[in-house]
């Protein structure tokens, strides 16, 4: 039995309306006549309902100057019945098979000079809009919408705390399943069930990388049988009912590690992860957090084995802005939330990663994950 109800609560109408108003203002500031928001996390952020993307067009039309409209097939309308359209100031416009939905959108917009389309809008719809909107320039809506979504409000931060606590409860139970003689897939199945039991709607990903498989950061699970002495990377997460995601990695050893260098190497990783978290505060750049971790790993001689960015933003998507990577000079601001997850991966041998989700506060940083960072040595 889940500890949480699996309904899909949405923000209150006032919060959603404020987001729509900010989106309209952001479009105008970007010299864009309208945003065309496809089903997905952007739509959920703006109206509280993600919907689904199909061959029939559904889109939220947000003009920089004018009334927003949710354009959708009449047969899909019942799925949006909970959207408080009147309170949000949205007109619901339905169409039926045989209508040209793209021309319907074009007629509402007149002759726009520039429209911004959701980043993950299917090409089927993008190309149809290209024909219907004539000479209008099409750009990506991502650079506009991400400016809204990067800075989480108090309710969003609380949802991330709840998600972090839920995934911490799963990590606290890994000792129940991780032992010699079991396959990664068997351990992963138990973890998947526990992710739901501990408060998520479902498991979005479960990585159990044992021994040499731990040196592949996005391994998943396999039929490899876990052996005594293995180092095992466990990276897990998923959404809670509010739609906000967890993502946390801890590294385990099944009994004492067989490789003599594990303790010393892991200590380098632990220092690097702590240095990066400690560096988080308003005003510093995203790339400086990456450097805080990467420099320690490189100085210890493991630079070639840290093969990914230090972190990614998180919220309604597991991966979103801001990205904690070299070259991103974005100054951090209160409300930004992202992972801090350096790793060391030695091909053919073993790997290790430590990952927490952190939130930038007014004067520093808050971690939403509280599990210990030490290498967790399990009885075997």
Using DSSP's 3-state secondary structure scheme, residue 366 falls into strand
The reported pLDDT for the residue numbered 3 is 36
CA dihedral 310, 203, 205, 47 (to 10 degrees): -60
- Asked if residue 1 has pLDDT above 90, the reply is no
CATH architecture classification, 154-378: Alpha-Beta Complex (3.90)
Give φ, ψ of 88 to 5 degrees: -85, -10
At 218-270, the pLDDT tens digits run 999 999 999 999 999 999 999 999 999 999 999 999 999 999 999 999 999 99
At 126-156, the pLDDT tens digits run 999 999 999 999 999 999 999 999 999 999 9
Beta strands in the chain (DSSP E): 34-37, 59-63, 69-73, 91-95, 114-117, 137-140, 205-210, 231-237, 248-254, 311-313, 320-324, 337-340, 343-346, 350-353, 356-360, 365-367, 376-378
Token pair listed for 36: 């065309």
Mark 50-87 as b/e (b = at least 16 C-beta within 10 Å). bbebeeebbbbbbbbeeebbbbbbeebeeebeebbbee
Task: Work out the angle at residue 100's Cα, subtended by the Cα atoms of residues 95 and 105, and round it to the nearest 5 degrees.
Answer: 80
CA atoms of 195 and 189, how far apart (whole Å): 10
Contacts of 257 by beta carbon, 8 Å cutoff, 6+ apart: 229, 230, 231, 263, 350, 375, 377
- Asked if residue 9 has pLDDT above 80, the reply is no
- Asked if residue 215 has pLDDT above 80, the reply is yes
CA atoms of 291 and 272, how far apart (whole Å): 10
Token pair listed for 34: 């309208």
CA atoms of 312 and 320, how far apart (whole Å): 6
The reported pLDDT for the residue numbered 10 is 79
Give the range among 5-9, 179-183, 204-208 with minimum mean pLDDT.
5-9
Q: What percent of the chain has pLDDT over 90?
A: 96
- Asked if residue 336 has pLDDT above 80, the reply is yes
Q: What is the DSSP letter of 79?
A: G
Average pLDDT on 161-184 reads: 98
Q: 263-269 long-range contacts, Cβ below 8 Å, gap at least 24?
A: 263/375, 265/302, 265/344, 265/352, 266/352, 266/375, 268/296, 268/297, 268/300, 268/302, 268/344, 269/297, 269/342, 269/343, 269/344, 269/352, 269/353, 269/354
- Asked if residue 7 has pLDDT above 70, the reply is no
Q: What percent of the chain has pLDDT over 70?
A: 98
Using DSSP's 3-state secondary structure scheme, residue 250 falls into strand
- Exposed/middle/buried for residue 379 (C-beta within 10 Å: 0-12, 13-18, 19+): exposed
Token pair listed for 156: 């969003």
CATH class of 13-149: alpha beta
Give the range among 7-11, 91-95, 318-322 with minimum mean pLDDT.
7-11
At 94-126, the pLDDT tens digits run 999 999 999 999 999 999 999 999 999 999 999
**Cα within 13 Å of Cα(310), Cβ side:** 30
**pTM exceeds 0.85:** yes
Residue count (the chain): 380
The reported pLDDT for the residue numbered 8 is 65
> Quick one: residue 176, left, alpha or beta (phi over 0 = left, psi -120 to 50 = alpha)?
alpha
Residue 2 banded pLDDT, cuts 50, 70, 90? very low
> In the chain, what are the domain boundaries?
13-149, 154-378
């Amino acid at each position: 039995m889940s500890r949480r109800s699996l309904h899909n609560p949405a923000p209150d109408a006032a919060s959603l309306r404020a987001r729509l108003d900010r989106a309209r203002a952001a479009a105008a500031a970007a010299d864009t006549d309208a945003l065309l928001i496809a089903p997905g996390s952007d739509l959920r952020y703006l109206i509280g309902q993600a919907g689904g993307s199909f061959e029939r067009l559904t889109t939220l039309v947000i003009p920089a100057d004018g009334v927003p409209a949710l354009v959708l097939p009449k047969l899909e309308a019942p799925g949006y019945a909970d959207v408080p359209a009147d309170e949000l100031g949205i007109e619901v416009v339905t169409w039926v098979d045989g209508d040209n939905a793209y021309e319907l959108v074009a007629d509402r917009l007149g002759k726009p000079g520039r429209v911004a389309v959701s980043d993950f809008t299917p090409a089927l719809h993008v190309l149809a809009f290209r024909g219907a909107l004539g000479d209008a320039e099409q750009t990506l809506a991502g650079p506009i919408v991400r400016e809204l979504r990067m800075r989480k409000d108090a309710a969003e931060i609380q949802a991330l705390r709840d998600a972090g606590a839920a995934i911490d409860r799963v990590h606290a139970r890994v000792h129940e399943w991780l032992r010699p003689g079991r396959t990664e897939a068997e351990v992963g199945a138990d973890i998947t069930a526990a992710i739901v039991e501990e408060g998520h709607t479902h498991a979005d990903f479960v990585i159990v990388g044992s021994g040499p498989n731990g040196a592949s950061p996005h391994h998943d699970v396999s039929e490899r049988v876990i052996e005594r002495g293995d180092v095992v990377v466990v990276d897990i997460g998923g959404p809670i009912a509010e739609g906000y995601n967890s993502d946390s990695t801890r590294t385990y050893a099944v009994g004492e590690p067989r490789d003599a260098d594990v303790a010393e190497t892991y200590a380098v990783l632990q220092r690097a992860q702590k240095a990066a978290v400690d560096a988080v505060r308003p005003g510093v750049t995203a790339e400086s957090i990456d450097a805080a971790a990467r420099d320690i790993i490189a100085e210890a001689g493991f630079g070639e084995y840290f093969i990914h960015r230090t972190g990614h933003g998180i919220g309604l998507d597991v991966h979103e802005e801001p990205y904690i990577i070299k070259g991103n000079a974005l100054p951090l601001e209160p409300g930004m939330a992202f992972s801090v997850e350096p790793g060391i991966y030695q091909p053919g041998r073993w790997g290790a990663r430590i990952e927490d989700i952190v939130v930038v506060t007014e004067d520093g940083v808050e971690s939403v994950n509280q599990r210990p960072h030490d290498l967790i040595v399990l009885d075997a």
